[in-house]
């Protein structure tokens, strides 16, 4: 595996260069955090580029902040700044950029991408109780999403950091086989147990780069409410089912929803199952190419419709 | 005069407590939660993800039930749901969470007596467990908030793990009642047990490494309300409700009528000041429109407003908000940072004044 610190130095160099020339407004990257997760850093001056880090704690997907900026309303008196925003991405995160470009949320001219090659990062939950420091990615510490990841080289990168990594793993969706093998009753029991724990903090929604509705249906009060505020199984189930459906064929499996869940609900299982279904039924693969039609914005007369009666 | 209880006698104790609904920590899919239990807490239980405030103040609670009258236009027959009368036993609270209950006691009886909370709290007996095993851990800072890993504030009993048994101290008449109900499930503690318990408590104190110097935070907050500091600290914030929903002292709730066909329920549910809709007015105006306003509110509420209103600080040092924050926002860093920031502003103002002169 290429040396993480060499890649870190390269990330800093690129950010420093971009900021010094003024070609980007700021760079969104990783900085050292407390504990086992890197922090998002918003670097505005070339002199601060050394705050940026790259190591296996850089598990988070920073494209959320890119999307937030793209959809932000200008403050009173604020003049629009046409310069692009720099962002550090892993290959999985770069799929989000593709998806956001595809859905016309991000204008490719307004983003400059530092793309890192990657062979996996650590799951912070698997590092709890271990000594904090630069962790190694091992079979015990690797994030679940990385074990089924096929993409090790970033897409749409303006600058690539790291040597090309051969794409190795063929995705067989074996991680959802367990759910698929369950009878409807077993599935109900499984999800009942998992979703009963949900406290509806909406962390999964807030962290999702692709959950960007101006007003989420679950916050909607007028003309009527679609879901009660009460935190009980029916509402929890409805919330998670609707969110999963709205991500079918769009979710790129960055795994942020599952990472942030304070109740350890296996949200990725829902998303991965729908990813598989979208691929099987409609040939849709999220984050493959910005040239693809957006999943929810296209249809085909040959689309299977067996669930519409 | 202290007692002991052998770990293998706890199930027997619980079986004798027929007047009580017993709650304790259980491990569910790797997450510790408080549930109804019949036996001892699992070995090595850490702080639960959702604090045990949920026993006295459930996340969703029915306040009233009603139904539609014959015309179909009016709701009638409003009534309180039947209240349970049985006693409640919390078997295995961590001292920080139990201390937080004394905070909620003050809060829910301050200007209005909250009958739902007070009713359950009065029926409850609380057994705190001295932090041992994996606790206290690197996220704990209760001593900085005037607490202790063997603190007794709010507890009716304190149990300290001695290996095969617990050292049992009854602290209140409610605690004594558990002793008498348990009968010979408890044994008498000897000098050796007392000495061992003291050592366990001292070891717990020593394991806490995080410190929070909160002296001066309230004063700093007084002069930082409109400061750009809040832009910086809230920049990575997602606006999710994890820090507040998992906080043992956070207590905001929202009241809603849930109406289905001919009947309805008035429910109250935990709310979070980190959500945009929390402060949204009916007019459409939102006095806390951005995440910086909401992050700021969390800090001001915990370290200034509550202090002004009740003379207490809204944090017991459990560390949940730090450990579970998706973006690594650390309340200690943010609170301590206000002091440095306020100082820098004062110096800046001093320099400006000099320059003007």
Pair B66, B263: CB distance under 8 Å? yes
pLDDT of residue B357: 52
* Residue of B326, B331, B333, B337 to mutate when probing chain A, most A C-beta within 10 A: B326
Contacts of B322 in chain A (CB under 8 A): 34
pLDDT higher than 90, residue A134: no
Which of A266, A156, A229 has its CA nearest to residue B272?
Answer: A229
Contacts 24+ apart (CB under 8 A), B42-47: B43/B133, B44/B133, B44/B134, B45/B92, B45/B133, B45/B135, B46/B134, B46/B135, B46/B137, B47/B94, B47/B96, B47/B97, B47/B135, B47/B318, B47/B319, B47/B320
Chain B contact for A213, CB < 8 A? no
Query: Per-residue confidence at B353, pLDDT binned at 50, 70, 90?
Result: low
pLDDT higher than 70, residue B355: no
Question: What is the enclosing helix (H) or strand (E) of A17?
Answer: helix A4-21
Please state, in angstroms and rounded to a whole number, the distance separating the CA atoms of residues A29 and A49.
9
pLDDT higher than 70, residue A242: yes
Chain A contact for B257, CB < 8 A? no
Residues of chain B with pLDDT > 70, as a percent, come to: 98
Contacts of A60 in chain B (CB under 8 A): 326-327
DSSP state of B303: I
Residue A120 has a CB neighbour count (10 Å cut-off) of 19
pLDDT higher than 70, residue B69: yes
Quote the crossing angle between the two packed helices B95-108 and B115-123, to the nearest 10°: 140
From the list A33, A202, A221, the residue facing B240 with the nearest CB is A202
Chain B contact for A233, CB < 8 A? no
pLDDT of residue B100: 97
pLDDT of residue A167: 82
* Residue of A60, A75, A201 to mutate when probing chain B, most B C-beta within 10 A: A201
Shortest CA distance from B268: residue in chain A: A230
Q: What is the mean pLDDT of residues A217-228?
A: 85
The string of pLDDT tens digits covering residues A87-99 is 999 999 999 999 9
Task: Classify the phi-psi angles of B44: left when phi > 0, otherwise alpha if psi is within -120 to 50, otherwise beta.
Answer: left
Q: Which of A122-136, A183-197, A289-303 has the lowest mean pLDDT?
A: A122-136
Cα of A88 to nearest chain B Cα, Å: 15
What mean pLDDT, rounded, does chain A reach? Answer: 91
Residues of chain B with pLDDT > 90, as a percent, come to: 84
Q: What is the mean pLDDT of residues B313-330?
A: 95
Query: Per-residue confidence at B13, pLDDT binned at 50, 70, 90?
Result: very high
Pairing of strands B87-93, B20-28: parallel
Contacts of A202 in chain B (CB under 8 A): 240-241, 275
Shortest CA distance from B30: residue in chain A: A264
pLDDT of residue A1: 46
| Residue A39 to residue B328, Cβ atoms within 8 A | yes
β-bridge mates for residue B129, sequence order: B159
Please state, in angstroms and rounded to a whole number, the distance separating the CA atoms of residues A190 and B158.
37
Query: Per-residue confidence at A133, pLDDT binned at 50, 70, 90?
Result: low
Chain A contact for B209, CB < 8 A? no
pLDDT of residue A36: 82
Quote the crossing angle between the two packed helices A184-196 and A233-247, to the nearest 10°: 110
Please state, in angstroms and rounded to a whole number, the distance separating the CA atoms of residues B220 and B155.
33
Contacts of A33 in chain B (CB under 8 A): 328
Beta carbon pairs, A and B, within 8 Å: 96
Shortest CA distance from B240: residue in chain A: A203
Q: What is the mean pLDDT of residues B30-47?
A: 92
Which of B209, B102, B210 has its CA nearest to residue B152?
Answer: B102
Please state, in angstroms and rounded to a whole number, the distance separating the CA atoms of residues A142 and B248.
32
Please state, in angstroms and rounded to a whole number, the distance separating the CA atoms of residues B180 and B176.
6
Chain A contact for B65, CB < 8 A? no
pLDDT higher than 70, residue B317: yes
> Is the preceding omega at residue B254 within 30 degrees of 0, hence cis?
no
Contacts of B137 in chain A (CB under 8 A): 129
Phi, psi of B247 (to 5 degrees): -80, 130
| Residue A201 to residue B241, Cβ atoms within 8 A | yes
Shortest CA distance from A225: residue in chain B: B258
Shortest CA distance from B29: residue in chain A: A264
| Residue B238 to residue A60, Cβ atoms within 8 A | no
pLDDT higher than 50, residue A246: yes
What mean pLDDT, rounded, does chain B reach? Answer: 93
How many residues in total does chain A contain? 309
pLDDT higher than 60, residue B35: yes
pLDDT higher than 70, residue B280: yes
Pair A210, A96: CB distance under 8 Å? yes
CB proximity under 8 Å: A 243-282 to B = 256, 259-260, 262-264
The string of pLDDT tens digits covering residues B174-209 is 999 999 999 999 999 999 999 999 999 999 999 999
> Is the preceding omega at residue B136 within 30 degrees of 0, hence cis?
yes
Q: Which of A235-239, B42-46, B89-93, B94-98 has the lowest mean pLDDT?
A: B42-46
> Is A104 in a helix, a strand, or coil?
coil
pTM of the predicted protein model: 0.93
pLDDT of residue A199: 97
Burial of B71 (C-beta count, 10 Å sphere; 0-12/13-18/19+): exposed
Please state, in angstroms and rounded to a whole number, the distance separating the CA atoms of residues B118 and B108.
7
Q: From edge to edge, which strands make up the β-sheet containing B165-170?
A: B31-36, B20-28, B87-93, B124-129, B157-161, B165-170, B3-6, B186-188
CB proximity under 8 Å: B 275-304 to A = 275-277
Chain A contact for B44, CB < 8 A? no
pLDDT higher than 90, residue A304: no
pLDDT of residue A195: 97
Chain B contact for A221, CB < 8 A? yes
pLDDT of residue B157: 97
> Is A269 in a helix, a strand, or coil?
helix
Which of B89, B87, B84 has its CA nearest to residue B23?
Answer: B89
pLDDT higher than 60, residue A2: no
Contacts of B235 in chain A (CB under 8 A): 40, 42
Q: What is the mean pLDDT of residues A114-123?
A: 94
| Residue B327 to residue A39, Cβ atoms within 8 A | yes
CB proximity under 8 Å: A 10-69 to B = 33-35, 37-40, 42, 60, 64-65
Chain A contact for B202, CB < 8 A? no
Which of B154, B106, B109, B116 has its CA nearest to residue B306?
Answer: B106
Shortest CA distance from B258: residue in chain A: A228
Please state, in angstroms and rounded to a whole number, the distance separating the CA atoms of residues A175 and A173.
5
**DSSP H helices in chain B:** 10-16, 53-56, 95-108, 115-123, 173-182, 191-207, 217-222, 229-234, 242-245, 291-300, 306-310, 320-324, 331-356
Chain B contact for A1, CB < 8 A? no
For chain A, give every domain's residue range.
4-161, 174-297
Contacts of B330 in chain A (CB under 8 A): 34
Question: What is the enclosing helix (H) or strand (E) of A98?
Answer: helix A91-102
Please state, in angstroms and rounded to a whole number, the distance separating the CA atoms of residues A276 and A105.
25
pLDDT higher than 80, residue B89: yes
Cα distance between the two ends of chain A: 52
Residue B13 has a CB neighbour count (10 Å cut-off) of 22
pLDDT higher than 50, residue B6: yes
Contacts of A207 in chain B (CB under 8 A): 238, 240, 326
Q: Which of A234-238, A278-282, B201-205, B337-341 has the lowest mean pLDDT?
A: A278-282
Shortest CA distance from A196: residue in chain B: B28
Q: What is the mean pLDDT of residues B257-271?
A: 91
């Amino acid at each position: 595996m290429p040396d993480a610190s060499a890649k870190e130095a390269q990330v800093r160099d690129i950010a420093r260069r971009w900021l010094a020339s003024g070609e980007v407004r700021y760079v969104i990257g990783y900085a050292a955090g407390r504990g086992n997760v890197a922090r998002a850093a918003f670097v505005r001056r070339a002199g601060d580029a050394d705050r940026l880090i790259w190591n296996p704690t850089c598990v988070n997907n920073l494209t959320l902040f890119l999307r937030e900026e793209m959809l932000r309303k200008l403050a009173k008196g604020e003049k629009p700044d046409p310069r692009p925003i720099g962002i550090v991405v892993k290959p999985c995160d770069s799929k989000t950029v593709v998806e956001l470009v595809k859905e016309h949320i991000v204008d490719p001219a307004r983003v400059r991408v530092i793309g890192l090659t990657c062979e996996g990062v650590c799951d912070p939950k698997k590092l709890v109780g271990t000594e904090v420091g630069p962790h190694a990615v091992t079979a015990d510490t690797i994030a679940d999403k990385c074990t089924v990841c096929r993409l090790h080289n970033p897409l749409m990168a303006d600058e690539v950091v790291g040597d090309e990594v051969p794409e190795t793993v063929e995705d067989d969706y074996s991680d959802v086989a367990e759910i698929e093998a369950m009878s409807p009753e077993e599935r109900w029991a499984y999800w009942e147990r998992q979703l009963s724990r949900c406290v509806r903090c909406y962390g999964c929604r807030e962290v999702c780069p692709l959950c960007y509705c101006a007003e989420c249906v679950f916050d909607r009060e007028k003309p009527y409410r679609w879901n009660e505020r009460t935190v009980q199984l029916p509402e929890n189930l409805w919330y998670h089912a609707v969110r999963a459906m709205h991500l079918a064929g769009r979710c790129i499996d960055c795994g942020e929803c599952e990472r942030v869940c304070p109740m350890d609900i296996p949200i990725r299982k829902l998303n991965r199952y729908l990813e598989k279904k979208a691929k099987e039924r409609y040939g849709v693969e999220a984050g493959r190419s910005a040239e693809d039609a957006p999943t929810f914005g296209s249809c085909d007369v040959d689309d299977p419709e067996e669930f519409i009666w | 005069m202290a007692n002991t209880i052998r770990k293998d006698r706890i199930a027997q104790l619980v079986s004798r407590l027929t007047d009580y609904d017993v709650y304790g920590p259980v491990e569910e899919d790797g997450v510790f939660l408080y549930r109804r239990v019949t036996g001892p807490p699992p070995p090595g239980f850490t702080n639960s993800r959702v604090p045990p405030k949920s026993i006295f103040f459930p996340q969703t609670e029915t306040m009233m039930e009603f139904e539609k009258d014959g015309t179909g236009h009016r709701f009638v027959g409003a009534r309180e749901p039947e209240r349970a009368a049985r006693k409640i036993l919390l078997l295995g609270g961590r001292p920080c969470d139990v201390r937080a209950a004394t905070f909620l006691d003050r809060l829910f009886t301050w200007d209005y007596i909250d009958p739902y909370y007070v009713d359950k709290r009065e029926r409850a007996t609380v057994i705190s467990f001295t932090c041992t095993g994996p606790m206290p851990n690197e996220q704990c800072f209760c001593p900085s908030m005037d607490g202790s890993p063997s603190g007794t504030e709010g507890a009716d009993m304190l149990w300290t793990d001695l290996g095969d048994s617990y050292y049992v101290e009854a602290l209140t008449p409610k605690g004594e009642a558990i002793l008498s109900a348990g009968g010979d499930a408890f044994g008498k503690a000897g000098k050796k047990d007392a000495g061992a318990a003291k050592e366990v408590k001292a070891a717990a104190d020593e394991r806490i490494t995080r410190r929070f110097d909160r002296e001066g935070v309230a004063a700093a907050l007084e002069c930082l309300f409109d400061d750009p500091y809040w832009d910086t600290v809230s920049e990575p914030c997602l606006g999710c409700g994890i820090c507040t929903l998992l906080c043992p002292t956070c207590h905001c709730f929202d009241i809603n009528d849930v109406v289905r066909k001919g009947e309805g329920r008035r429910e109250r549910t935990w709310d979070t000041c980190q959500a945009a809709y929390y402060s949204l007015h009916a007019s459409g105006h939102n006095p806390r429109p951005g995440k910086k306003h909401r992050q700021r509110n969390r800090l001001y509420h915990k370290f200034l407003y509550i202090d002004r209103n009740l003379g207490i600080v809204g944090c017991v040092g459990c560390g949940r908000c730090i450990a579970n924050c998706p973006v690594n926002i650390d309340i200690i860093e943010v609170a301590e940072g206000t002091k440095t920031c306020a100082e820098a502003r004062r110096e800046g103002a001093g320099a400006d004044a000099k320059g003007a002169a």
